[in-house]
Amino acid sequence: MRHRSLAAVFACASLLAAGLLALTFGATSIPLHHAAGILGHALGLPLDPVWPAWEDTILLHVRLPRIVVGMCVGGGLGLCGSTLQGLFRNPLADPAILGVSSGASLGAVIALYLGLAVYTIWALPLLACLGAGITAFVVSAIASRRGHTPIGTLLLAGVAMSSLMTALTSFVLSLALADYNIGSQIVLWILGGLDGRTWDHVKLVAPATCLGAATILAYARDLDVLLLGELHATSVGVDVVRVRRALILTTSLITGVGVAVSGAIGFVGLVIPHILRLLIGPHHRWLLPLSMIVGAAFLVLTDCVARTLIAPEEIRLGVITASIGAPFFLFLLLQHRREGLL
């Protein structure tokens, strides 16, 4: 029997624990009582600041916004992953599959190459969202025919656009390599990471992610029914075309904003929903929120590891998620093949 409530409580607890852990540990060691004091002081408690100013800055302006961004991005990735897996009835679907992540990457890389980030901190995220939106639009336009969007064509269009976007990104990168600094910036960004994320980034990613999440959660029942197939779903009154369009748009928004803020981070959207589905079953009114929560906790924890393990240097976040995600993914593949479920 599936103890869904237990799983939910555990997920929330792990998110809280991850947040606290990530706040406490980092490249520099801040004593626990200082950390507690800084947080208390920030919440308005009357405490004497016995800690140095740089600890305050690190905790509230370096680590905390980074954690919040990590939660939004990780949560968004987990949510989009479970949504797309339900939408395409394929456990191997993830936000990258519609080519949206690659489109967002291209937009961001162009912003980096043109040096637009110098003018405003919003330049990169805006171009990334633009890239994500254009790709999503082109993919659904290619794959739609008289209002009907066959899944196979949609996936192929997504793969094709993804390849195109990746190729263009490589092209821009090759141009940028003439300038060592910009070239290295782009490469680091492509590898994905949360370093240097500020409260401005939170302002960009949090509202879009929350709005998108609320929208997707409203379609939980539709996603359940869609799992049976288009014919079954239509026969019980689900407008498959409309639902698909809404969900693709929303996942594109969330993915675009997430990629804009943190670069391309893979495997979170693939592995987390899959594991959860094995544990708590396919009902989306549980699967969607839990994918969000566990995805958020996972990314915050991996980011904490990324910036603590080889301090004062940092491991790129995308590298760690791939290192953990890829073997698990292969393991799941083998599991499925053995049981003939793929």
Partner 1 sequence: MAARLEVQDLAFAYRDQPVFEHVSFALHPGDVVGLVGPNGSGKSTLLRLLLGILPAHRGHILLDGTPLRSLSRKAIARHAAFVPQDTAIDAAFTTRDIVAMGRNPYLGRFQPETPDDRAAIEWALAATATQHLTARFVQELSGGERQRVMLARALAQQAPLLLLDEPTANLDVAHQLEMLSQVQSVVHDNRGALIALHDFNLAARFCDRILMLADGRLVAQGTPAAVITEDHLATYFHIRAKVRWEPDIGGLVVLPCHPITPHHITA
Partner 2 sequence: MPLRGAGVLPTALILAGLLGLLTYGGSARVALLGYGLLQATRIEGSDFPKRLIDPAGTRQIIPAPPQRIVSTILAGDHMLTALVSPDRLAGVTYLVDDPTISNIIGVVPPSVPRIATEIETLLALQPDLVLVANYTRTETVRLLIAAHIPVVRFHHDASFQGVMDNLHTLGEAVGAVPQAEQLIHDMRCRIDAVVQRVGERQRPRVLYHAPAGYTMGAETLIDEMIQLAGGLNVAREVQLIGPVKLQQEVMLSLEPEVIVVADWSATPGPEAIQELLHHPVWRHVPAVAHGRVHAIRGAWLTSVSQEAVHGLEAMARLLHPEAFAW
Minimum CB distance to partner 1, residue 153 (Å) = 16
Distances from the Cα of 262 to the Cαs of 16, 74, 196, 229, 240, in angstroms? 21, 10, 10, 35, 32
- Distance (Å, rounded) from C-alpha 304 to C-alpha 132? 28
231 counts as binding partner 1 under rule CB under 8 A: yes
Q: Number of helices (H) and strands (E) in the chain: give both, helices first.
A: 15, 0
333 counts as binding partner 1 under rule CB under 8 A: no
Minimum CB distance to partner 1, residue 276 (Å) = 12
**Residue numbers 171-190 binding partner 1 by CB under 8 A:** none
Backbone CA torsion sign across 114, 120, 126, 128? positive
Any idea what the Cα angle at residue 125 is, between residues 120 and 128, rounded to 5°? Answer: 130
Token digits of residue 187: 């490469």
Q: Find the binder of partner 1 among 24, 144, 153, 234 (CB under 8 A).
A: 234
150 counts as binding partner 1 under rule CB under 8 A: no
CB nearer to partner 2: pick between 122 and 137? 122
- Distance (Å, rounded) from C-alpha 272 to C-alpha 82? 8
- Distance (Å, rounded) from C-alpha 192 to C-alpha 265? 5
- Distance (Å, rounded) from C-alpha 294 to C-alpha 159? 27
CB nearer to partner 1: pick between 26 and 282? 282
Q: What 8-state DSSP symbol labels residue 63?
A: I
Q: Which does 203 bind (CB under 5 to 8 A by kind): partner 2, partner 1, none?
A: none
**Binding string, 241-280, against partner 1, x = CB under 8 A?**
----------------------------------------
Q: Which does 323 bind (CB under 5 to 8 A by kind): partner 1, partner 2, none?
A: partner 2
Amino acid identity for residue 71 in this structure: M
Minimum CB distance to partner 1, residue 226 (Å) = 10
33 counts as binding partner 1 under rule CB under 8 A: no
Residues that bind partner 2 (CB under 8 A): 26-28, 53-58, 61-63, 181, 184-185, 188, 195-196, 198, 275, 278, 307, 309-315, 319-320, 323-324, 326-328, 330-332
CB nearer to partner 2: pick between 17 and 310? 310
Q: Is 224 helix (H, G, I), strand (E, B) or coil?
A: helix
Does residue 302 contact residue 271 with C-beta atoms inside 8 Å? no
Does residue 256 contact residue 78 with C-beta atoms inside 8 Å? no
List of E strands, 41-172: none
CB nearer to partner 1: pick between 178 and 341? 341
Q: Find the binder of partner 1 among 40, 49, 207, 281 (CB under 8 A).
A: 281
Q: Which residues bind partner 1 (CB under 8 A)?
A: 89, 218-219, 221, 224-225, 227-229, 231-232, 234-239, 281-283, 341
